[in-house]
Amino acid sequence: FLNFSSLGILAPFFMEDLSLSSAQVGLFVSAVSIGACLSQVPAGLVTDRVSVRFILPLAIGVMAIFLSLFSFSSSYVSALMVLMVYGLASGSISPPASKSVMDWFPPLGRATAMGLKQTGVNFGGIIAGVLLPFLALSFTWRRGLLMVAVAEAACAVLIYRLMKEPPVKIQSQLSSFDWKNVWRVVLNRNILILAGVDFFFFAGQFCFSAYLTLFLTREAGFSVVQAGYFFALAYLIGAIARIFW
């Protein structure tokens, strides 16, 4: 999420560099979201049959590659295309990450473990809010993002080396795969309700992440660094709430 947060936190920098409007910044977020939407179900299907230890670092590694490519973008169109592919990799993170919690933890305590996992989203926002303005002001936004991409690639390697398979090996049943079962899950009433809730939740969260820095710097008169602190504070409160909820 540190990467996704960069789109909003660094918006004042690349808006000037690429001559973008606020609407075009919003389309950056939309490009990532569309890519993620297209990849999440296929990523779930693959995760059911391939080791989480392989899928998770692979997706993070691809994100690192395309984040670095975004830092070299010279036009709005090229940046938009890169972010679309970046979104495809980003959408592949949640299924294996959630499955790892399901595999490792018993039903009692699983929701708490899931909440702890999700605090990673918030801590990514906290680090982004504090770190990215400093990097952009010290090294330019392009070099700052490139540094984040290198750190993310290193993280992918560490995950692959340190992550272990679940205590109980779950065998894939490739022969029993049936698209009818997939559609049965997709059209399940409870799944549709959860998808509807997520739609409104992430719409608000993505708008907040994309435009908070622009609002605080353009309308409220704060500096980019101060806006980053507000961004970090919001996600710190969210991290605490995820654990207790």
Inter-CA distances, 145 with 20, 67, 150, 156, Å: 18, 7, 9, 16
Backbone torsion region of residue 6, taken as left when φ is above 0, otherwise alpha when ψ lies between -120 and 50, otherwise beta: alpha
Residue 2 has pLDDT above 60, yes or no: no
Q: Which residue has better confidence, 138 or 101?
A: 138
Residue 13 has pLDDT above 80, yes or no: yes
Q: pLDDT, tens digit, for every residue of 70-106?
A: 999 888 999 999 999 999 998 888 888 888 888 888 8
- Residues 136-151, mean pLDDT to the nearest whole number: 92
How many other β-carbons are positioned within 10 Å of the β-carbon of residue 6? 26
Handedness of CA 195, 235, 88, 160 (dihedral sign): negative
Q: pLDDT, tens digit, for every residue of 28-37?
A: 988 998 998 8
Q: Which residue has better confidence, 124 or 158?
A: 158
Q: Pick from 145, 130, 138, 59: which is nearest to 98 by CA?
A: 59
Inter-CA distances, 19 with 13, 133, 213, 227, Å: 10, 19, 17, 21
Residue 157 has pLDDT above 90, yes or no: yes
d(CA 239, CA 245): 10
Amino acid at 128: A
**Percent of the chain residues topping a pLDDT of 90:** 34
Please give the pLDDT value at position 135.
92
Please give the pLDDT value at position 3.
61
As a whole number of Å, the end-to-end CA separation of the chain is 20
- Of 180-184, 205-209, 225-229, where does mean pLDDT reach its minimum? 180-184
Please give the pLDDT value at position 213.
92
Please give the pLDDT value at position 169.
56
d(CA 226, CA 221): 10
| pTM: predicted TM-score of the whole model, two decimal places | 0.81
For the ranges 40-44, 77-81, 206-210, the maximum mean pLDDT occurs at 77-81
Label residue 176 by pLDDT band (50, 70, 90).
Answer: low
Using the 8-state DSSP alphabet, how is residue 79 labeled?
H
Residue with tokens 């899931």: 114
